[in-house]
Structure 1
């Protein structure tokens, strides 16, 4: 029974690619490492495509509109229509109990795309890892290729589980991670199904999920050391695995291992882009395929068109923008003020406008994060000198006329967090960082976030009516996504993550803002 299910799953995930040869009338199987490499490419890595709307972006696009770095735009008139903002985005950006619920309340969209997409890819990686032991490896090159494919599978599975556990479970808290419910941990290549059971998959504790993520990344690194990646940054590498592992250790509050891993990365790859070269070069972008910082990227640039700062769209929050001083190159490179609304939109952090993107806003890994990870790990261990040194190295490439600063132990943690927010904004970090700061044993940080949801009169010239102000409180249940409804219908015994109904707390009007 299991092999039957495995065969069906393999065919569904891989399609009818030319790399699958007939084994019998009813069964097709991969026979070479090259076959498995094509399955890895087609069913593991997230492809890039043109993104007309944020909702068309890669898995996890919702992370762009959850945190305190964004807001909606208040303008006299909306330049964009209502279907996306009032339909797809409202439930996420105002932290509703049902994220698929539209603003008027008369429609509820499915909420399972992220869950399904990630688990489908995880299962494909499980299949490839299993089949590596069954295909021929007759030459030394076959064996090296198999090691590289194995390394990439472990990396991707780790990255996907890392996203899942941070979307659908509470942040890693060393005090309760061993008992806090995480996400189902599936490592088998076959489909489990027991008709006598209401629940096919149990929610594995957060600590166990992280344990597997760490294990996968370490195995990836070992394999890459034996068979280094020779392809472009669109394929996983040892450097990418080291950077992601250092981030995972930060989330676990394992500061020493985070420091060791970040330093190992930076010893091998430490290149930083000098942002002074971007200021007067309007055709260059902070994050692009030509950046010396780029280690890895997969998926699309989800926010190509929905962060213009125009009415009916999203903008950068004043809270974030005001962190940059006038000497910081990032302020004018990353952001630009909209002439239509005076709100702040994205400028040249990425290439904007509809196109097939070269880099992702969520799955990109670059060396700048390595400096910040090393700085945070040092700061949390009381090494203010080390943390300051790492900050200074990064800032020297970001701020005009920068002079090195030595912070005290009391100052440096806040400085690292501020720099992390400034450097990594709109890259899928801030929402998860806010979650982990709240449970940080060394220096807990919590805040109330307010979102102004701009309501326009879509029936009468798209004129602004009022803004509904929503609040995300400290330790709010909405920091965790609910388990998708379709999953709960299938696994009826699986515990859900309960969220609360949310109403706006007050209204704002244009005349109160002028």
Structure 2
């Protein structure tokens, strides 16, 4: 069964992926079955996050809005890019059935990635070759599987700290085919598997020299992810320990204040010391071009000489602020990152919520350290009130990690507050406000109906039965 699964995967790789090396060139069926650790090394690279599915996260969240001046200038027709993203942007229960922007394939595309890493984990122990290379490949595959399941369970399962006994997603840990499909595991079960994978990955990486700069996940990245997962599970002491380990092994925060103001800044590059992993893909043929940063996000920068404002955002010729952080002009370059700044924020929040001595002092130290690397002339702040300190850390997280796949998941664990989006598809039309209610069922997304054909045991989320969302015309 294992060899059959590997053969199917090898053929799948040839026809589905363009590949990153000669390993995926079309060959005979016997040759596509990986046998050596180097074969698995090449195979795994194709499942190292090369997809643009993460863009759905900032379409859903409150970090973006439609830029009126970014819409096409035709007054008699809708901008097709705004039409493409409407279902997700307005939280429609049939969002996956109507979209053509690339965000409607998040479920299936992520399981294809999981299929690849599972095939690597199925066969790597029996592959011939160097043991250290084997351990590195295994560490990478385990880390990737934990990362992918974290994404899935936070899209299609209820928040862990709200209802960990709710249904999550199917948990598949091998590449072998399942004739009758797989039922959904609980949110808690998925999280336990994520922790198991990431902890095993971190342990393997700890015995290997660090590598950085090759678009592959590394041990520091895994420890940052572990600190994130522990934070979501409210295991604060473990959050702090994982963040400590990540910070100690990282190259340090990039000092934006030392960069000239006219620097041509590009976030997803290993030239920045704080970037531990660059992943994902850029899709230029999408509705993302009509997005501008949310007003609430940009107000953070008022009265501050914060280099993030000039490096991550820009005014185009239409005098509309655009998102430059994820740089859509770089079509062939991955545009997502995992950075050590997240570890500082995870640890700061965990300190406040933990029972550790001097917790507020330690949290403030992390907050001030990050800001010193962002704001010119920054002076450390002292915040005595614990509630205010937590709010300050979370606001900093909103700004620092915008458009990196965090905010939607953070909103869920913050209690699923009510948020709204203003929508229009044509400049000449009035704005229409759509609201996601507090603890709205659409905070847990429905599965696309197409996936039920391949998994008869899958149960749909109640959010799929929500009525169509209608907006209110916004008064001037």
TM-score (norm 2): 0.89
Q: Which residue of 2 aligns with 1:394?
A: 370
Q: Which residue of 1 aligns with 2:279?
A: 298
Distance change in 2, residues 1:125/1:100 (3 Å): closer
- The aligned runs of 1:66-465 (5 Å cut-off) are 66-75=60-69, 78-79=72-73, 82-86=79-83, 88-100=84-96, 113-137=105-129, 142-173=130-161, 176-177=163-164, 179-194=165-180, 200-230=181-211, 232-269=213-250, 271-302=252-283, 313-327=290-304, 328-340=306-318, 342-347=319-324, 349-357=325-333, 359-361=334-336, 364-381=337-354, 383-408=359-384, 409-438=386-415, 446-456=416-426, 463-465=427-429
Task: State the secondary structure of the residue aligned to 2:184.
Answer: coil
Deviations 1:115-159 (A, max 9, x none): 12111121221111121222223xxxx111111111111111111
Distance change in 2, residues 1:492/1:305 (3 Å): closer
Task: State the secondary structure of the residue aligned to 2:296.
Answer: helix
Q: Structure 2: which 5+ residue stretches go unaligned?
A: 16-20
Q: Distance in 2 between matches of 1:286 and 1:299?
A: 13
Deviations 1:293-319 (A, max 9, x none): 1101212245898666xxxx1111111
Q: Does 1:483 align with 2:447?
A: yes
Shift of 1:69: 1.2
Shift of 1:100: 3.7
Q: Distance in 1 between matches of 2:137 and 2:100?
A: 40
Q: Distance in 1 between matches of 2:328 and 2:23?
A: 36
Shift of 1:483: 1.5
Larger CA deviation: 259-268 vs 69-78: 69-78
What is the aligned length?
461
Deviations 1:191-214 (A, max 9, x none): 1214xxxxx201011111111111
Shift of 1:453: 0.8
Task: State the secondary structure of the residue aligned to 2:266.
Answer: coil
Larger Rg belongs to: 1
The RMSD of aligned alpha carbons is 2.9
Q: Which residue of 1 aligns with 2:10?
A: 11
Conservation of the 8 A alpha-carbon contact between 1:305 and 1:354: no
Larger CA deviation: 488-497 vs 374-383: 488-497
Shift of 1:501: 2.4
Task: State the secondary structure of the residue aligned to 1:365.
Answer: strand
Distance change in 2, residues 1:464/1:76 (3 Å): farther
Deviations 1:486-514 (A, max 9, x none): 222333342211222233331136xx2xx
Task: State the secondary structure of the residue aligned to 1:183.
Answer: strand
Q: Does 1:46 align with 2:46?
A: no
Conservation of the 8 A alpha-carbon contact between 1:477 and 1:498: yes
Shift of 1:288: 3.0
Structure having the larger proportion of residues in helix: 2
Larger CA deviation: 73-82 vs 294-303: 73-82
Q: Distance in 2 between matches of 1:24 and 1:476?
A: 51
Q: Distance in 1 between matches of 2:42 and 2:95?
A: 35
TM-score (norm 1): 0.82
Conservation of the 8 A alpha-carbon contact between 1:302 and 1:360: no
Deviations 1:88-122 (A, max 9, x none): 211010110111455xxxx8899762112111121
Conservation of the 8 A alpha-carbon contact between 2:275 and 2:340: yes
Deviations 1:275-303 (A, max 9, x none): 12345223233553311111012122458
Larger CA deviation: 16-25 vs 417-426: 16-25
Q: Distance in 2 between matches of 1:10 and 1:314?
A: 37
Q: Distance in 2 between matches of 1:167 and 1:248?
A: 14
Q: Structure 1: which 5+ residue stretches go unaligned?
A: 48-56, 195-199, 439-445, 457-462
Q: Distance in 1 between matches of 2:361 and 2:122?
A: 47
Q: Distance in 1 between matches of 2:135 and 2:240?
A: 27
Q: Distance in 2 between matches of 1:71 and 1:7?
A: 44
Distance change in 2, residues 1:307/1:343 (3 Å): farther
Q: Distance in 2 between matches of 1:474 and 1:21?
A: 50
Task: State the secondary structure of the residue aligned to 1:404.
Answer: coil
Shift of 1:10: 2.4
Q: Distance in 1 between matches of 2:400 and 2:100?
A: 36
Deviations 1:390-424 (A, max 9, x none): 00100111112211122222321101100100111
Conservation of the 8 A alpha-carbon contact between 1:316 and 1:345: yes
